[in-house]
Structure 1
């Protein structure tokens, strides 16, 4: 009876985590769209140069102010990107998003569950089959994997094994 209650609580936590990761994914997409809009809306404003010293001082202060504002916007965008993490570093399959991302992060970097980065395909497949069969005890993993086919487990292990390369490529 207690096992069932723990499994139900763990499943609810996993569902909540999936919703949370989905919301983070949506926010990261909005940040990307905002950045695209900002890039598209950048315009160069020609500044007339005059020979009067006072106007030169005013122009340079305007240019300095514009530079400061651009730097401030750039800092804010950088902070937003860092806050979003690497949630948009690369695309993952719908199967991974549905079954794994809520605990292991959108790109396998770990959230509630451990990081999957750098794991080999064989190790991942063995771990998945062990969780599914009950050799390794984890009620959340068992609940997520119980009805999955071996082909799905193989596909997940193949995909996750590529995450390290994809993260490196996204960082470059």
Structure 2
């Protein structure tokens, strides 16, 4: 009976050892594949020996001044170009009401982005358009949503402000 127990234990130990060795073989195979992938993806980088360059002669002060002036002119040209592309962005101050209700579509100064250009429109024309949008006579869900809670005094205030954009822009340009 004891022999049978010892034999069973020996058999279990042998089976465990075989399973352990199988697991080690699997891990070794994985490491081997990883090593092969690393070898395949190695890159050789050639480093070229460069000879030191001959030092450039020192420039005369007049040359340095001319080069500095040229760089300043280039910067000035770039700034001018940027100003032209930016247009009238923030050319004048607008009310918080305009910023909240209008600027996201019509631009910070009414120059038009998603919505149409407002600069150059009369206060009466703008007021009538606002009233039409609020009443539903002109259909635009965005405009209706923005104007539906505003009273007539706010609409008039907004129309007067937008109607003054052309004069404000001309004053800012001078």
Does TM, scored on the shorter chain, surpass 0.5? yes
Name stretches of at least 5 consecutive residues in structure 2 with no aligned partner: 1-57
Residue 115 of structure 1 is matched in structure 2 by 117
Cα distance between partner residues in 1 of 2:115 and 2:73: 37
More helix by share: 1
RMSD: 1.6
Residue 164 of structure 1 is matched in structure 2 by 166
Offset, 1:72: 1.9
Residue 91 of structure 1 is matched in structure 2 by 93
Of 69, 76, 81 in structure 2, the residue corresponding to residue 74 of structure 1 is 76
Residue 41 of structure 2 is matched in structure 1 by none
Cα distance between partner residues in 1 of 2:138 and 2:159: 17
Provide Cα deviations, 1:78-104, integer angstroms capped at 9, x if missing partner. Answer: 233234331120000011011001111
Of 34, 43, 67 in structure 2, the residue corresponding to residue 65 of structure 1 is 67
Residue 125 of structure 1 is matched in structure 2 by 127
Cα distance between partner residues in 1 of 2:122 and 2:70: 47
Cα distance between partner residues in 2 of 1:98 and 1:142: 15
Cα distance between partner residues in 2 of 1:80 and 1:126: 36
Residue 143 of structure 1 is matched in structure 2 by 145
Name stretches of at least 5 consecutive residues in structure 1 with no aligned partner: 1-54
SS at match of 2:139: coil
What TM-score comes out, normalization by structure 1 length?
A: 0.64
Residue 104 of structure 2 is matched in structure 1 by 102
SS at match of 2:60: helix
Cα distance between partner residues in 2 of 1:78 and 1:91: 22
Provide Cα deviations, 1:121-157, integer angstroms capped at 9, x if missing partner. Answer: 1111111011001111110100110001111101100
Cα distance between partner residues in 2 of 1:157 and 1:104: 13
Cα distance between partner residues in 2 of 1:146 and 1:136: 13
Does 1 or 2 have the higher relative contact order (CA < 8 Å, sep 6+)? 1
Offset, 1:76: 2.6
Cα distance between partner residues in 2 of 1:119 and 1:84: 21
Q: Which has the larger radius of gyration?
A: 2
